[in-house]
Amino acid sequence: MNSARSWIVFAGAVFAYLIGVTQRTSFGVATVDATERFHVTAAAVSSVAVVQIIVYAALQIPVGILVDRVGPRTFIVGGALIMAAGQAVLAVSPTLTLAIAARVLVGVGDAMTFVSVIRLLPNWFGGRLLPQLSQWVGVIGQLGQIVSAVPFALLLHLVGWQSGLLWASGASIVAAAVALALVRRGEPPAATGPLPTHGPWAQLRASARRPGTQLGFWAHLVGGTVPTLMSIMWGYPFLTAGLGYDVATAATVFSMLVVGSVVAGPVVGLLVARYPLRRSNLVLTLVGIMFALWFAVLLWPGHPPLGLVVALFVAIGMGGPGSLIGFDLARSFNPGHALGSASGIVNVGGFLGGFVCMFGIGVALDVIDAVRVAGGGSSQLYSFDSFRIAFLVPVVIVAIGVIGLLNARRRTRRRLYEEEGIEVAPLWVALFRSRRDR
């Protein structure tokens, strides 16, 4: 545990995840290009990313079950190869239908990667380092957004659609080779509960029934919905078409998603390790900051200042580490043999919220533009005023997630008290007691 060999395995796995995030977010950079290439509406283009994320989310639970049995290495290598194939197909796609099929392949490969990397960590690391490493996986992986926002975006405009995507495909082949050379399964952690004697689906149902797993799911949805929809689909078009930024400025602002993740990730990891009973409060705090800036940008009279938009994208990036707290919650409230299954359930959360919002925003943009044209105005599909209205969709979805989180937290705390005698008072009560004791 925590050896030099552990770090070599970690490096190989996290590099594959970084390239996976690059492939996941590359279509968002190409959204406007895809609209022109395939001559389709915003809703039709959004359906490409939505199908990708639906596939990703749908496979999380099966992958979680299988990775507990097959091992993470096979899925990391296989996922990289499948994503390489998907990007190659997208490069030569003449129609939107084939483009959707290509992104399905990317979604399948992507689905095999993150849960496998998270499942690998307890085999090589332990102690208080483990929850911090979960955050570092997210932080390093999100550098893939910078790769897609800066070098890939510039490459796409320099060499064109086909060549740019073929280069992206080659990157996944390299990732597969690195993972094959460096990643090993390692020794699984000691059992923290009786080993299962029933089938995988019964184990899955047991994981899903645990309030701690449900709490992790809602935490991932609340923290991950907006980062998902902005990084994969609507962040880059919002900057270029909505706010009118040039490619260099848009790429710089878009990369602030990663800056927010890099800044917040280590801090969140330390706070999770030090205050494990307050993890849900940390998620809610990060999301509160995000939506305060979200409304500030949307309600700004005229175009918002660049500094405010930068602050918003930093805050959205901070939501990523918040969503990763969901995996730590699942790890805490599940036996070791069920970590893959529980992680798969959790990882559905943010991507479920993300694909609902991605499609909802695309439909809203089309409806708003149709109403504008029917009223005698000119078509402005991606105008900032249209985004002001369409971007209310994630507000509704995240609000539902907060309700689910609070309900799951109440039941998790009740079970914690019944089984271990640990009482978790509301935060304001704990702060009052702490001040009184001092």
pLDDT at 218: 95
CA neighbours closer than 13 Å in the CB half-sphere of residue 438: 5
pLDDT of residue 340: 73
The pLDDT assigned to 255 comes to 85
Provide the CATH number for the domain formed by 4-185+199-437 in this structure.
Answer: 1.20.1250.20
Q: Which of 106, 94, 235, 101 shows the shortest CA–CA distance to 168?
A: 106
Q: What is the pLDDT of residue 80?
A: 96
CA distance 330 to 418: 18
* Residue 94 DSSP SS3: coil
d(CA 349, CA 362): 20
**What's the predicted TM-score (pTM) here?**
0.73
Q: Where are the domains of the chain?
A: 4-185+199-437
**Predicted local confidence at residue 143, as pLDDT:** 81
CB 14 within 8 A of CB 140: yes
Q: For residue 88, give both structure tokens.
A: 């190659």
pLDDT tens per residue, the chain (438 residues)?
778 899 999 999 999 999 999 998 888 778 778 888 888 887 788 788 778 878 888 888 888 788 878 888 999 999 999 999 999 999 999 888 999 999 999 999 998 998 899 888 888 887 778 777 877 887 788 788 778 767 888 888 888 888 999 999 999 999 999 999 999 887 766 555 555 555 667 777 877 888 889 999 999 999 999 998 998 888 988 999 999 999 889 888 988 988 898 888 888 888 888 888 888 999 999 999 999 999 999 999 989 999 999 999 999 999 988 998 998 888 887 776 667 778 888 888 888 898 899 889 989 999 999 999 998 888 888 899 999 999 999 999 999 999 999 999 999 888 888 877 777 666 655 555 556 666
What does the pLDDT read at residue 189?
60
For 403, the token pair is 């309700």
